[in-house]
Structure 1
């Protein structure tokens, strides 16, 4: 794995996405629209104030997971990956290049979503807006890395969607969005402690409410970083040249 090949892969991916307006809209606009819909649904109530930070974790995470996994799988189905690997491009270059490309898009996506939630939808943030942004970016990168991992095992785009109940839905259900985690049955609470989205939701909520120390929030960010790195490493090891 070399920096030049990794950056070349990232540049190629960004060029492809730039010529796909629908994917650009899905990545950059849809999360904000969904957050706006939630805020509109709960106008004149305090509900959005309580669930808004979780929505900043939820929608970018799901969108990045879907787009990254489908885009990576498409490279294998078209034989692009096999051609690339016949040249001096390793699996690590390919996976990390994709991670860098979608990571850059995740930064833009998060900047739009956070700005929209705070300054248009009126989400009140008691803590640092920059810390909130950093956590939201890490959350989007988590969706990207899990998408890369899922694409290594899927053979078709339909199978990617089938992975949603495995990779995404349990994290949504047990992440504290619908019910506080300390009110979950003991076994489910223990499971939620091992799910990475939990740490993103908890950290975003803590910054919004300004009720936890900086050290506690940074510890959550460290857990997210470990999950991101682990998914990228495992994805590069298990990546196959072609589907079939």
Structure 2
């Protein structure tokens, strides 16, 4: 038996349903939270042996003054201290965040982005789900922290422009302004698009590219 928290979200929906599969027979919703020691103790007492937590890169900062870093750090600590085997997944920026540009694209052909000429090693939520599934049912060792990224992509806006058949342009902050803003809250992996090998090491295949992700989500940009 497997429990998937956040089963209606971008990552959680993938191991439950996959892109086309129906909801499995016998699946039912329950309430709980992996940052709640009571929930974790209940899971352990019920026979759960292994927890895979989708966290984030900000957990590495352990910055208790930042609400995002604090939440992720405390969740990771709770899982590590639960008495169950654990695997931590720290995905970087998600490809599924790209629809944030949709309102501007509906209004015109220009969007404002930080680092308009820099690549970002965004990861497809399906790859995060694939690593989670392999960690649960495969031979991936317990007690590991996986830093999940996609490959170095082509510019995402260029991919969208080609897919939509539009002449899209981006304008943004200077590199210095954008870096100063991002470095206040984000770890270096976000700022410098450091590519990690974990997706391929766990799944046995390269991470999906933005070009592979975009066609299934084209409707969000039209």
| TM-score, normalisation: structure 1 | 0.28
Q: Which has the higher helix share?
A: 1
Q: Using CA pairs below 8 Å that are at least 6 residues apart, which structure has the higher relative contact order?
A: 1
